[in-house]
Amino acid sequence: MEFDLSWIFLGLPLAFGLGWFASRFDLRQMREENRRAPKAYFKGLNYLLNEQQDQAIDAFIEAVQNDPDTTELHFALGNLFRRRGEYNRAVRVHEHLLSRGDLSRADRERAQHALALDFLKAGLLDRAEDALRRLEGSAFEGQARMALLAIYERSRDWPQASDIARRMHDAQQGDFSTRLAHYLCEQALALAAHGELPAAQALLEQALATAPQAPRARIELARLQQRQGQPEAAFDTLQALAQAAPAALPLAAPLLVETATATGQAPQAQALLQHHYEVMPSLDLLEAVVALEAANANTAAVGREWYVRHLEREPSLVAATKWLAGETLTHEQFHPQIQRALEQAAKPLTRYRCAACGFEARQHFWQCPGCQTWDSYPARRVEEL
């Protein structure tokens, strides 16, 4: 018994000693690691300054393994690589972050978002879509949905785009009704191009119900009705357009003339066009008024007075060129050359221009081919802007 007690007396200090030694050892190891981590940063920085970026990344990865606090350094690096167009490296950095088990939820979402941006910038849309879908329910949900919408629009996947837009609309992330109507119109046009006219019409009517204030569905519907041999219906649709969205009437002015002439409603169309022309003296409305007047009077000379009236209000090269085309000059033999030069000069003025990016085009676009913005083309020509 005594013998055992003496062992305990001896053992206690020994245990203390061992514990003290172990704690010293841990501390030394910790200091060693802390010293090692800054060393890895500097090694990485050195590589970076020497433009040895692969080695720099390896050094930084080593640093982050030794010290989890280097997360910010990884984000900075990843963004740097993405900005430089080095998408593989950006992906590598962000995937490495995501593979770590000790990452906070906020940092994990941030890394997932950064990874999605890498794929987007690299043009790897399938992988970007997958990465963005993982952000549903995260702090980046709104941004991710916008990016997904852009992907689906670019690939003309209108049902998927509609699904996202509807979710954003329901979550009150903005009013997406006009955009949803555009998607329906796009699908309707695709059907109409394949001759499926009744199905196209059903979609256009749905688009009209989705966004009654938007002009596109009415214009496309009138075109479709005219194509189906229903000029009366088309004329009625355009009259409704003039009521609901008068600013867009110039886009449909030639069709209005066509349907009015076909249905014997030229006087009504003329009154409608003149009324809107008085409110907004647009070149397309002017052109339609001239066409109807000339057809009525059976002579182009009557219509041409409208160009002079327009010139009294607006100093328009387009209108002046059109008026001059029907004029007889003192030196008539030079008229063709003069006319050609004027028409050449007036041509760029008849283009449409995107209000968001300034991209100009001969035809009107509902979505700008330059910057992908919807409804950024006013229904007015460059000369009228």
Q: Give the interface with Zn ion as residue ranges (CB under 5 A).
A: 354, 356-357, 359, 368, 370-371
- How large is the C-alpha radius of gyration of the chain? 35
- Of 178 and 270, nearer to Zn ion (C-beta) is 178
Length of the chain: 385
Query: Considering beta carbons, is residue 240 or 361 the nearer one to Zn ion?
Result: 361
Comparing CB distances to Zn ion, the nearer of 277 and 359 is 359
Residue closer to Zn ion (CB basis): 82 or 353: 353
Nearest CA-CA partner of 279 in 241, 322, 313 = 313
Rank residues 34 and 372 by Cβ distance to Zn ion and give the closer one: 372
**What minimum distance in Å lies between the beta carbon of 269 and Zn ion?**
32
Closest to Zn ion by CB, 342 vs 356, is 356
d(CA 189, CA 196): 9
Judged by beta carbon, residue 240 or residue 356, the one nearer Zn ion is 356
Half-sphere exposure of 27 (CA within 13 A, CB side): 6
Comparing CB distances to Zn ion, the nearer of 299 and 372 is 372
Cα-to-chain-centroid distance, residue 382: 23
CA–CA dist 268, 292 (Å, integer): 11
Q: How far is the CB of 363 from Zn ion (least distance, A)?
A: 14
Least Å distance, CB 379 to Zn ion, is: 15
**Distance in angstroms (rounded) separating the CA atoms of residues 311 and 260:** 27
* Backbone phi and psi for residue 367, each to the nearest 5 degrees, phi listed first: -125, 125
Long-range pairs of 59-65 with CB within 8 A, sequence gap ≥ 24: 61/96, 63/37, 64/96, 64/100
Is the Cα torsion angle 280, 283, 288, 291 positive or negative in sign? positive
Closest CA to 217 of 258, 181, 255, 166: 181
Q: Which two tokens stand for residue 36?
A: 């090692």
CB of 364 to Zn ion, least distance (A): 12
Q: Supply the minimum distance, in Å, between the C-beta of residue 123 and Zn ion.
A: 20
Token digits of residue 168: 């954003």
Question: 367: which DSSP letter?
Answer: B
Instruction: Identify which of residues 96 and 351 has a Cβ nearer to Zn ion in the complex.
Output: 351
**Beta carbon of residue 368, minimum distance to Zn ion (angstroms, whole number):** 3
- Please state the closest distance from residue 385 (CB atom) to Zn ion, in A: 14
- ∠ at Cα 302 (260, 348), nearest 5°? 80
φ and ψ at residue 360, rounded to 5 degrees: -105, 145
**Shortest distance, position 50 Cβ to Zn ion, whole Å:** 42
Burial of 137 (0-12, 13-18, 19+ CB in 10 A): exposed
3-state secondary structure of 353: strand
Rounded to the nearest whole angstrom, what is the least distance from the CB of residue 161 to Zn ion in the complex?
19
